[in-house]
Chains A and B, each alone.
Chain A
Amino acid sequence: MGQIFPMDFDTSVKLNLYETLARTGQALTAMDVADALAAPLGDVLAAFERLHQKRLLVPEPGDPARIRMAPPFSGVETPHRVRVKDRSYYANCIWDALGIPAALHEDALVETSDMHTGEVIRLRVEGEAPLPEPCAIHFAVPAALWWQDIAYT
């Protein structure tokens, strides 16, 4: 019989955050995670910071206890809404909008818009691939600078 090794604390925090986002579309606060894991708040805040360094989450500017991004999920409303079954999520950008059905392995409807004209654009993901839709995806920022201002990127 194999031995079961417990997860390290940062992984527990990460999974608690991501599983809750996947289930509810809502980002937890550090207090929520501390309650869920029966852990000290300071330990959770330190884990948030380490996960930020690993670029697995972005805290709210000025409030390290709240989550702005847990890519591909957004902790706040954005112009990129993703519908999966009866749930709605917000994504940080169009890459992340497709990242949500990729992470959930579910069909999805992405509702967003042309950045110049405001025309509504709907992208459907069915059977783990997007249906064809005329569009162009523009990268305004080189990869080396993405995390200088990830909210802008």
Chain B
Amino acid sequence: MLLFRSEETLEGWCRARNLPRRPTINLEQLWHLAVTWYGNRLTVESRRPAPDEMVAIFSAIGLEGPFWDPKSDQWKSNS
């Protein structure tokens, strides 16, 4: 995931590389992901969220659909 100052600089980056525009999130959403993923990373019980947990985490901040599903086959056929 990549950081841009604005939507305009993001669009410029996509155009310069002829890459498709994909989803964006804001700083508040990113912080939610950071805390959910890493808030207990220094503890004995820490682990990466399982795929179904990831879907629920993304959904909680409005990120839904195959792009956010680690088990989706849609993208594998395009890779």
Binding site for B on A (CB under 8 A): 7, 11, 14-15, 18-19, 22, 54-56, 71-72, 93-96, 98-105, 112-117, 119, 121, 123, 125, 128-130, 132-146, 148, 153
Contacts A114-B9, A132-B27, A141-B22 supplied; 5 other A-B pairs, CB < 8 Å = A11-B44, A115-B4, A137-B3, A140-B19, A143-B54
Give CA–CA (A103, B27) in the complex, Å: 17
B18 lies within 8 A of chain A by Cβ: no
A sample of 11 inter-chain contacts (CB < 8 A) reads: A15-B42, A56-B46, A93-B1, A93-B2, A94-B1, A94-B2, A95-B34, A98-B34, A103-B39, A137-B29, A140-B2
Asked if B33 contacts A143 (CB within 8 A), the reply is no
Q: Mark B37-71, 1 if CB is under 8 A from A, else 0.
A: 11111101011100000100010000000111111
Give CA–CA (A19, B67) in the complex, Å: 34
Interface residues of A: mostly helix, strand, loop or mixed?
mixed
Asked if B10 contacts A144 (CB within 8 A), the reply is no
Q: How far is the CB of A69 from chain B (nearest CB, A)?
A: 12
Asked if A135 contacts B71 (CB within 8 A), the reply is no
Chain B residues with a Cβ closer than 8 Å to the other chain, count: 51
Binding site for A on B (CB under 8 A): 1-7, 9-10, 12-13, 16, 19, 21-31, 33-35, 37-42, 44, 46-48, 54, 58, 66-76, 79
Instruction: Decide yes or no: A121 and B42 within 8 Å by CB, A136-B10, A143-B54, A145-B75 being known contacts.
Output: no
Asked if A143 contacts B72 (CB within 8 A), the reply is yes
B10 CB contacts on chain A under 8 angstroms: 116, 136, 138
Q: Which of B3, B23, B42, B76 contacts A144 (CB 8 A)?
A: B76
Q: Which of A103, A128, A145 contacts B41 (CB 8 A)?
A: A103
Instruction: Decide yes or no: A142 and B44 within 8 Å by CB, A116-B4, A135-B27 being known contacts.
Output: no
Give CA–CA (A102, B39) in the complex, Å: 5
Give CA–CA (A38, B23) in the complex, Å: 47
Asked if B72 contacts A142 (CB within 8 A), the reply is yes
Asked if A56 contacts B48 (CB within 8 A), the reply is yes
Asked if B76 contacts A137 (CB within 8 A), the reply is no
